[in-house]
Amino acid sequence: MRFVIGIDSGGTHIVAQVISLDGEVLSTYQAGQGNLLVNFEETKNNLVKVLEEIGHDYALTSCEGIVIGIAGAETAGGAPALLKHLSKSYAGPIELMSDATLGLWNTLEGANGILAIAGTGSAVFAKQEHHILRVGGWGYLIGDEGSAYDIARRTLQAITHFQDTQEAPVFVQLFLDQTPAQTVNELVSRVYSMSRKEIAEFAMITAALAEQDDTAKSIIEQAATALADQVGLMITRVNPDGPLKVAESGTVLLHNKTYRQAFEKAIKNQQSNVQFLTTTRNNACGAFYWFKAKEGN
């Protein structure tokens, strides 16, 4: 039986899937972290390990291709060396791309369209045939509009603004009650000793408070609109002449109802003929759609 292998190689773990040429996921495997920026050697070893496990269960000579979406592929600079190393052990074709590009193939099922990602960071991608475009994703110091970090930043800016103006909305105390800090000054002091991920987790507090507090709701909606504006920039670049597919991904976008409603409303204000897509498939399945498109050429 012929098959393809899709590998979603991310910062926390690697998911590999053996997929039949009909699109059926035959087996799933996991390994440790897979971000080239975090650790090249560890990522390389984890990928080799998971491919060896697959090789124990399947004849790799029946594999039509291995497609790896890997975090850090576009910025770490180690992708060519990784490809060279893997090619020594596996004779079949190997395609390396970013994990976001693999997600684009998966969520859009190979169709043209846009993918908006809002997790700890954010970015917007578009697929036009085999061309991949990007807007945003410039990191938490410069951009990542609409991300969890952005929500946390907007929250802290609102809280310190209220402190400066001597306003005392209920939101400030509600937020403080969900942290170890007793005062705004103590909260800010703690922030400057926290990691980016820890700061981004403040977004969960704001999101929960949005159900009962207008200030929190406004912060969430502003962040969602900021991501929608990034999608708007992408729309002007791809200039769709028909129905537009917009895939949604990332914990912020998928798990926050207030955020998602504001995001979709803002998109519809820019593009009336739009279809929103989500998927529960692991992004490793993007390998199947990539293979189908390649075979069609």
**pLDDT tens digits, 45-56:** 889 899 999 989
pLDDT in tens, the chain (297 residues): 899 999 998 777 899 999 999 999 999 999 888 887 778 888 888 898 999 999 899 988 889 899 998 877 666 567 788 888 888 878 778 888 888 889 889 999 888 999 999 988 888 999 887 788 999 888 888 888 999 999 999 999 999 999 999 887 899 999 999 999 999 999 999 999 998 889 999 999 999 999 999 999 999 999 999 999 999 999 999 887 778 899 998 889 999 999 999 999 999 998 888 999 988 888 999 999 998 888 765
List 118's β-bridge partners, or say none: 122
Nearest to 86 by CA among 18, 21, 34: 34
Can you tell me the distance from the alpha carbon of 230 to that of 283, in angstroms, rounded to the nearest whole number?
22
Which pLDDT belongs to residue 77?
67
| Helix or strand run (H / E) with residue 133 | strand 131-135
Q: What are phi and psi of 66, to 5 degrees?
A: -115, 125
CB 35 within 8 A of CB 11: yes
Helix ranges restricted to H, 28-147: 40-57, 79-89, 99-107
Parts of the chain belonging to CATH 3.30.420.40: 148-277
CATH number of 148-277: 3.30.420.40
CB 122 within 8 A of CB 147: yes
Which pLDDT belongs to residue 297?
54
* pTM for the predicted model, two decimal places: 0.84
229: amino acid identity, one letter: D
List 65's β-bridge partners, or say none: 4
From the candidate CATH numbers 3.40.50.300, 3.30.420.300, 1.10.4160.10, 3.90.1170.50, the one assigned to the domain spanning 3-92: 3.30.420.300
Parts of the chain belonging to CATH 3.30.420.300: 3-92
Q: What are phi and psi of 268, to 5 degrees?
A: -65, -30
Nearest to 136 by CA among 149, 77, 210, 25: 149
Can you tell me the distance from the alpha carbon of 159 to that of 166, in angstroms, rounded to the nearest whole number?
10
Nearest to 86 by CA among 95, 98, 73: 95
Angle at 177 between CA 209 and CA 120, to 5 degrees: 55
